[in-house]
Every structure is written in C-alpha cells, then in structure tokens.
Amino acid sequence: MKTLRLHGPGDLRLHEEPVPVPGAGESMLRVTAVGICGSDLHWFNEAGIGDAHLEKPLVLGHEFTALTEDGVRVAVDPSIPCGECEFCLEGNPNFCAKLIFAGHGEQDGALRERIAWPKRCLFPLSDAISDPAGVMLEPLGIAIHAVDLAHLRVGMSVGVFGCGPIGLLILQLVQLAGANKVFATDILPHRVEAARALGADVASLVGDGLGVRELAISDGRGLDVVFEAAGENNAVEMAVAAARPGGKVILVGIPSDDRTSFTASIARRKGLTFKLVRRMKLTYPRAIRLVESGFAVAARREGLKVIIAP
Ligand SMILES: [Zn+2]
Ligand SMILES: [Zn+2]
C-alpha cells in the first residue's frame, strides 16, 4: 500500500509498504479522507511540535474518515487513551499519561491507504455527514472542548483571534452558545471574510486602522472571553488587551517557538484567567450530533482546509 512519510523538515516521501495487521480489538480500515491540520504543518515545517521531535520517519494525519472491512463509514478518534490511569478515570482522557495519538511521536497517522485502529475509537457516520465533513469532526471536537472550558453564559461578549479552521468553528459555536457580540480577527483577508460570513459582529484584518482591541474596549469594559486560535504571541497580547477585568483568555493556538508571552502587568491588573486547550476530551459524539443536525463545518470553503483522499 502507498504510505506518505515525513523524514525531516519539508521532506515527505511516498513509500510502498506492507498492509498493517490489526491487533486485538482493532479494525482494519481503508482511509477515505484526511484533513491537514495546523499541527501537521508544524511537523512538516519543523519536524516536530513543541518539545516533541521527529524520532523516526512518521506518517502524519489525525483528522480522518475511513471505511471498515464491513463497508461501514466511520469517523476516527485519533486519540487512544489507556482508560486506566488516574487522568482517564477522572474523566480527562486528554491528559492520559499513556495517550497514543495518530501522526504524533511513535504512532503513525492516516496519510496512507490502510490503517489498523481500535474499534472503540470508531464512530459510524450517517449519510448526513460527508467524508470532508467527517474529517472536520476532530477539529470541531477541539473547538467544542475550547468553548466548554470558557463556561460561556448567554449574552457574553467574545473574541476569536485567529480564524483558521478551528477559530471559525469556535466562532460558530459561541453564537450557538448565546454569545452577544463576537469580535474576530485574522491576518489573512479571506479568513476575515469567512468570519464575517459566519456571523462575526466585527471581523477585522489585524493591522487595519481600527483594530478589534480598540473596538472591544471602546466602551471601557472589554470582552468577557477571548479565544486565541492563531498560535501567535501578537494574538495572545491582543487577547490580553481586549479581555475585560476578570475575563478569560482561552489559548487554543500552538506557537511555533514553543513560547507564549504577554504583558504581565495588563493581565495581572485585570486578574485574567488563562486556560489552555489540550486536544478534545470526550466531545466526539456531540460533534457528530451537531453536524448531523445541520451545523455547517467550514470544510467546503475553499482555501480554508486542505483534505486529501488517499
Ligand atoms: Zn488537528
Ligand atoms: Zn490513561
């Protein structure tokens, strides 16, 4: 079968490899669609992400749909938690000490024709969810988890700084959750356009004359919650500046240089709460229900998400 492996920064090679053999409790899958995530781009560009580095040639890809041997279309949860450690047992499998994740570290991901994966991590898809939409379930799960962490209340004002695929999903979810005003930013005009089309009250290009920060604090109050989904310290700094005293900043983005910084005095005087998003916890079933009920995932928008059909 054809397998795409990352050998070093920018060095992807197509190999012919034997088909994997499913272990106990695993299903043999034919991969039908794989989404390319910002974290895959970190691996591709830097041969690592944060403090994880490429140890051996790795197959990337963790957002994917597949077909089982019985012909069932499934979305695949890329996380395999152990289910037994303290963190799994307390309901936080995203903190599992022995977590295995597709396309990360030792575990090959989905950019290949076949993959063996635990049956407990497979979610059958109804016809209401296409393969490209199915690929968006993982990023949608992350976005749901991020919004969960914010404990949004109806009528709150919200910022979404960074409108890539995850930011745009968060933008839609906070409106569902009852946000009053939503302020969105990005450095790319087509993403700002997408944010506006998806209902942001204010969508501005970072660097525009009137920034979101000025708008958000124009009433002297600031935003209740700001999601930083750019992975850039500029966006973190802007989130700190735009949050209201006592507000929350949810850090979703992954910085390239593995450092997050902001002006301490501003954050301290406001007594801000920071939360960091670690993958997606148990959100897959909710993500599936949402998409089945007509929630629009942004997959079909050109230039926002790359999807590969192996
Ligand atoms: Zn991802
Ligand atoms: Zn565990």
**Tens-digit pLDDT profile for residues 220-268:** 689 999 999 999 998 999 999 999 999 999 999 998 889 999 999 999 9
140-276: CATH homologous superfamily? NAD(P)-binding Rossmann-like Domain (3.40.50.720)
How remote is the CA of residue 229 from the centroid of ligand 1, in Å?
A: 12
Q: Among all ligands shown, which has an atom nearest to the Cα of 137? A: 1
CA 307, CA 131: separation in Å to the nearest integer? Answer: 10
Across 15-39, average pLDDT: 94
Per-residue pLDDT of 72-109, as tens digits, reads 999 999 999 999 999 999 999 999 989 999 999 899 99
Per-residue pLDDT of 280-291, as tens digits, reads 888 999 999 999
How remote is the CA of residue 61 from the centroid of ligand 1, in Å?
A: 8
Per-residue pLDDT of 141-194, as tens digits, reads 999 999 999 999 999 999 999 999 999 999 999 999 999 999 999 999 999 999
Q: Do domains 2-124 and 140-276 have the same CATH topology?
A: no
User: Percentage of the chain with pLDDT > 90?
Assistant: 77
Cross-strand bridge partners of residue 37: none
Q: Among all ligands shown, which has an atom nearest to the Cα of 35? A: 1
Q: Among all ligands shown, which has an atom nearest to the Cα of 85? A: 2
Q: Give me the pLDDT at residue 306, please.
A: 81
Q: Among all ligands shown, which has an atom nearest to the Cα of 89? A: 2
Q: Among all ligands shown, which has an atom nearest to the Cα of 94? A: 2
How remote is the CA of residue 11 from the centroid of ligand 2, in Å?
A: 33
How remote is the CA of residue 189 from the centroid of ligand 2, in Å?
A: 41
How remote is the CA of residue 139 from the centroid of ligand 1, in Å?
A: 6
Q: Among all ligands shown, which has an atom nearest to the Cα of 34? A: 1
What's this model's pTM, rounded to 2 decimal places? 0.89
Q: Among all ligands shown, which has an atom nearest to the Cα of 62? A: 1
Return the domain boundaries, the chain.
Answer: 2-124, 140-276
How remote is the CA of residue 62 from the centroid of ligand 2, in Å?
A: 19
Phi, psi (degrees; rounded to nearest 5) at 152: -60, 145
Cross-strand bridge partners of residue 274: 249
Could you tell me the fold of the domain covering 2-124? Quinone Oxidoreductase; Chain A, domain 1 (3.90.180)
